[in-house]
Structure 1
Amino acid sequence: MRLNDRVALHEILTHRQDLLRQLISVTGVDPRQAIAQVSEEITIIEAGLATLAPE
């Protein structure tokens, strides 16, 4: 991924958001640690997107 690659960051963000939705719906195991990690990654990705110049 290139630095300042908005498209790639959006793709990663979409993937993490889908993963988070799937983790939230998991039953039979405790997904809290994975949910916390993915939520943290989403926050970091969104912060990165916010620092890029608007298109």
Structure 2
Amino acid sequence: MAAGAIELIVEGYVSLKDQAALDELRTQRRKLIADLDACTGIDCRSTIRQIEEDIVVIEAGLARLPT
């Protein structure tokens, strides 16, 4: 199975040890979820699930960075 875009992006930032970029990605996705939760009249559940999966990948990348 081919790696998804978010996995490739996270891998790049991890290899650069760019915690700030990973934090920003996570923040952006959390904001997207909040915005989608506020929407009415359309079903955004599958999109929210995908964004939540992105956050899991980002957090796994953050966990691989040195502390």
TM above 0.5, yes or no, is yes
Q: Does 1:46 align with 2:46?
A: no
Deviation at 1:33? Answer: 1.0
Distance between the aligned counterparts of 1:52 and 1:43, measured in 2?
15
TM-score, normalised by the number of residues in structure 1: 0.88
Picking from 14, 17, 22, the partner of 1:9 is: 22
Higher helix share: 2
TM-score, normalised by the number of residues in structure 2: 0.73
Identity, % of aligned pairs?
43
What amino acid is aligned across from residue 48 of structure 2 in structure 1? I
Distance between the aligned counterparts of 2:64 and 2:34, measured in 1?
26
Across the two proteins, how many residue pairs are aligned to each other? 54
Deviation at 1:29? Answer: 0.3
For the aligned residue pairs, the C-alpha RMSD in angstroms reads 1.2
